[in-house]
Amino acid sequence: MIENDTYQNFFEEMKKLRALQKKQKQRGLNDYNILTTVLSADDEVRVHSRMIESLLNINGKHYQDDLFLKIFLKVAQINGYSTVDSKIYKEYENIDLYLTDGNKHIIIENKVWAKDQFKQIEKYVDLVKKENEKLPHENLYVIYLSIDRDSPSDESLGRYKIDNEYIVNKDDNEKIAIYKAMHYKSDILSWLKECQYEVQNITNLNEVLKQYIDVVQLITNQYKGKVMSILNYIKELENSEQKREYIEILDEVNDSYQEEKLELKKEFFTKNIGIYLKDYLPKEYLDWNVEYVGEEKDMNKAYGVEIRFFKGENWKIVYILRFDASNMKKLYWTIAKIDDKTNLKEMKKKIKPISPHRQTNTSLLWSYSECDLDENFLKLIDNKDELYEMIIKEFMMVMEQLKNKYGYTLETINIEINK
């Protein structure tokens, strides 16, 4: 049982820490990072795929030709790839990153936290093999890049499986491709640090790589802030008993904070949200419905609850707000089907996603929301109206992009789907 005096002492120490942090910041120490200022550190599309693509592009504005690509291939242990003939594509037919020298082909499936999609790897492998007839397995590589996973799920592999270092056909064990698992914590950091070493005298490139290394360390729990953290401050205290008690207080405060944070998000994302959001819709959308779907008991499940925006009762494709992880993390929007019977095959041929938008088996377009409830948590406490306005503003932006970038509206999509 922690005594009241211990709590008082703890908060006195926190005052000292605040003063120390202020002095450190005045001396120029900071944790400012341009990437995490404008985007989430775990945004695999707009941060990680874009950064990796920009470095692997031999014609990139880094003007280092194939330097970064050569180092990557060394880390990935891929031999015989012609770097001078290399071409790289981002979001090629939904493949996160696709490299080819005309002879060898490298598929990179980038997974920070997102789940595998149904037959995702199978589809990508089949696509490359279809476009390159009689492609031998030794000329096709599949790299599964993740935080800590060693292989994609069986659902993603479909009719294929991983057998040691190969992707093989389940039926006859025929080798289809060479398989490699790469991890951000080891492989990507090794690659980036070696790249940084090579360009250490080029100030802007060195700084860009340094900032991206910090982001990778953030998502792999290796980042150490330059301004002293609470935990490091406590670790430097001399009294062992005091350290133990202060850590207990931190755990207690954090557990309580996380629980209350989740409850606030649940309170916001409930059946009433549709009523509030409808009040913020502009005039041209007043005849639309905003509907909450799901049970509150399912809120801790990925895809457990969602909010649908639609007009006609017979619409099969609607705009949806969802969470893709448990504990209501990572809010995203999607233009997706609402029943399994709807076939999106023909519509997908007409709507090709433009980055940062992506596509899945059940959706025509999706992207992480700028209205993420974690990043905008203070608005949950201080100004829910501002969050409602942000959600509607993003909805309007997506509708505008759908019309201008893809030449469709939700209404015309539903007309074609219902033909």
Secondary structure in 3-state letters for 226-260: CCCCHHHHHHCCCCHHHHHHHHHHHHHHHHHHHHH
Q: Is the distance from CB of 144 to CB of 107 less than 8 angstroms?
A: no
Per-residue pLDDT, 253: 72
Judgement on whether residues 372 and 398 belong to the same structural domain of the protein: yes
Burial of 362 per CB tally in 10 Å (0-12, 13-18, 19+):
middle
pTM above 0.85, yes or no: no
Judgement on whether residues 147 and 287 belong to the same structural domain of the protein: no
Whether 63 maps to a domain, the answer reads yes
Q: Is the distance from CB of 418 to CB of 314 less than 8 angstroms?
A: yes
Per-residue pLDDT, 4: 60
Q: Is the distance from CB of 96 to CB of 90 less than 8 angstroms?
A: yes
Is residue 289 helix, strand or coil? Answer: strand
Judgement on whether residues 333 and 232 belong to the same structural domain of the protein: no
Whether 305 maps to a domain, the answer reads yes
Question: Total domain count for the chain?
Answer: 3
* pLDDT tens, residue by residue, 208-248: 898 888 888 888 877 665 555 666 666 777 677 777 777 77
Whether 374 maps to a domain, the answer reads yes
Judgement on whether residues 48 and 12 belong to the same structural domain of the protein: no
Positions of the chain with pLDDT lower than 70, given as ranges? 1-4, 6-7, 10-11, 14, 17, 20-21, 24-42, 223-234, 238, 271, 296-303, 325-327
Judgement on whether residues 240 and 313 belong to the same structural domain of the protein: no
Judgement on whether residues 286 and 366 belong to the same structural domain of the protein: yes
Per-residue pLDDT, 261: 77
Q: CB neighbours of 307 closer than 8 A, spacing ≥ 6?
A: 269, 273, 274, 277, 290, 291, 292, 293, 320, 321
Whether 205 maps to a domain, the answer reads no
Looking at this protein, which amino acid is placed at residue 252?
A: E
Whether 208 maps to a domain, the answer reads no
Judgement on whether residues 334 and 307 belong to the same structural domain of the protein: yes
Judgement on whether residues 275 and 412 belong to the same structural domain of the protein: yes
Whether 329 maps to a domain, the answer reads yes
Judgement on whether residues 173 and 117 belong to the same structural domain of the protein: yes
Per-residue pLDDT, 132: 95
Per-residue pLDDT, 310: 94
- Its domain, for residue 300, covers 269-417
Judgement on whether residues 54 and 143 belong to the same structural domain of the protein: yes
Whether 218 maps to a domain, the answer reads no
- Residue 378: Cβ within 10 Å count: 10
**Alpha-carbon distances, residue 53 vs 4, 49, 87, 178 (angstroms):** 54, 6, 10, 21
Q: Is the distance from CB of 311 to CB of 321 less than 8 angstroms?
A: no
Whether 238 maps to a domain, the answer reads yes
Domain end point (choices 265, 295, 322): 265
Judgement on whether residues 243 and 368 belong to the same structural domain of the protein: no
Per-residue pLDDT, 36: 61
Judgement on whether residues 344 and 403 belong to the same structural domain of the protein: yes
